[in-house]
Amino acid sequence: MKEITNSEFENEVIQGGNVALDFYSTECPPCDALAPKFEGLSNLYGEEIKFLKIFRQGNRELADLLQIKSSPTIVFFNDGKEIGERLSGGIKRSEIIENLDLMISSEKRDSIKSQIKPSVTEFDVAILGGGPGGLTAGLYLCQAKVNTVLIDIALPGGQVSTTHEVSNYPGFIDPQPGYLLSHNMSEQTKLCGTIYKVAVDVTNVDLEKREIVIDEFETLKAKKIIIATGTSPNLTGAKGERELKGKGISYCATCDAKYFVDKEVVVIGGGNSAVEEAEFITRFASKITMIHQFDKLTANKQAQEKLLANPKVSVIYDTEPRAFTKVGDKMITEIENVKTQEMSKIESDGVFIFIGMMPNTSLFKEELTTDQWGYIKTDEDMRSNIKDVYAVGDVVSKKYRQITTAVADGTIAAISIAKELD
């Protein structure tokens, strides 16, 4: 693997055959997470594909020419022409392999795969999930000198990292950007000594054996496991929703509201998250139409009053979405009045859906004891019904789900585990 500069691009890339080029930055957690994967794959594919790195900030002219907007970004070239899909952010090993395999024959792919040797690493504790609960558990455990690994299919931070502002986290007088709060939590836990395995594919989890397989060939064994997998947005179930996810339908205002400056959007939902996110979207969009299944919003009164006082916002009550389609650049939302069964359509530039969350427990084949909604039941020490398996954060059955309650869960589980291991 070699690092290049602007001046070497023509010779090394354009005339360089098969090339994987990583634009990286310093003080960049996603870049740090990518580095060992990129280096490991260079050892496997290095005879067939050239692996290069380039410092984005130090080579801005080239980055601007190629329209590289973020770090890390991997670009793949074959005989000077870009091929495959550009990868950026929390890049998984499997995503890189998909692009590398486009450059070589099936025989060479099979030969490379045959060289991969499964590995096994043992830890005291494995944490599945890098939200506030998992990060706090990792922090307490590493401070207790407990050998801990934190695993996440994305980058650490959880849903906090996509939250616009957090105004009720103790210790901060001014509201904190969600991404910054989660970044600081993550860096604190990482610097303490917790091993990170992030932006990985979780191939298999065996809670009984306490074994986690990531990226197909790497097995992580632990004496204790903490489940901190959090929740994911609920879907409406309306026709076209899955197909248009990310192509007109969004579940994250912080991520996507900025793309709707002076445009019209539909927001589906009427609870706290829907009202709070809609209020954020008003900073960008010219018009917001909320669709709510009940005859009044269910968010807290103060948030409702603030939103409804905004002239950009209107609400259609007693209504649910039935189908989403896209015509050109416009989204068409087909809705039904649940009382009259009258059907109608709304044209907009985009749709945001905020109708609650569901627990991320599909990884686990064992019989975890859950409540009626699928959230994991625990005792006061955050133990699940399976021996040496704990659960913390939003995936746990409890009345309130906040950053502070997740942090508390992580603290309790870590202290309980540290005492048991002693």
At 263, which CATH number?
3.50.50.60
pLDDT of amino acid 253: 87
Last residue of a domain, one of 87, 115, 143: 115
DSSP strand pairing (313-316 vs 357-359) = unpaired
| Claim to verify: residue 292 and residue 366 sit in the same structural domain | no
| Claim to verify: residue 138 and residue 89 sit in the same structural domain | no
| Claim to verify: residue 202 and residue 253 sit in the same structural domain | no
pLDDT in tens, 146-172: 999 999 999 999 988 877 778 889 999
| Cα–Cα distance for residue pair 102/76, rounded to 1 Å | 10
* Residues belonging to the active site: 252, 255-256
| Claim to verify: residue 169 and residue 202 sit in the same structural domain | yes
pLDDT in tens, 224-270: 999 999 998 899 999 999 999 888 999 888 778 988 999 999 999 99
Which two three-digit tokens encode residue 96?
């890189």
Domain containing 213: what range? 119-232+357-421
| Claim to verify: residue 225 and residue 147 sit in the same structural domain | yes
pLDDT of amino acid 313: 97
Last residue of a domain, one of 326, 353, 380: 353
| Cα–Cα distance for residue pair 150/173, rounded to 1 Å | 30
Last residue of a domain, one of 67, 84, 115: 115
Would you say residue 86 has pLDDT above 90?
A: yes
- Specify the 3-state DSSP secondary structure of 81: strand
| Claim to verify: residue 98 and residue 126 sit in the same structural domain | no
pLDDT in tens, 18-68: 999 999 998 888 999 999 999 999 999 999 999 999 999 999 999 999 999
Angle CA(270)–CA(337)–CA(254) in degrees, nearest 5?
Answer: 30
Q: Is there a contact between 142 and 194 (Cβ–Cβ < 8 Å)?
A: yes
pLDDT of amino acid 199: 93
At 32, which CATH number?
3.40.30.10
What's the rounded mean pLDDT across residues 360-370?
92
* Number of domains forming the structure of the chain: 3
| Cα–Cα distance for residue pair 32/14, rounded to 1 Å | 27
| Claim to verify: residue 270 and residue 312 sit in the same structural domain | yes
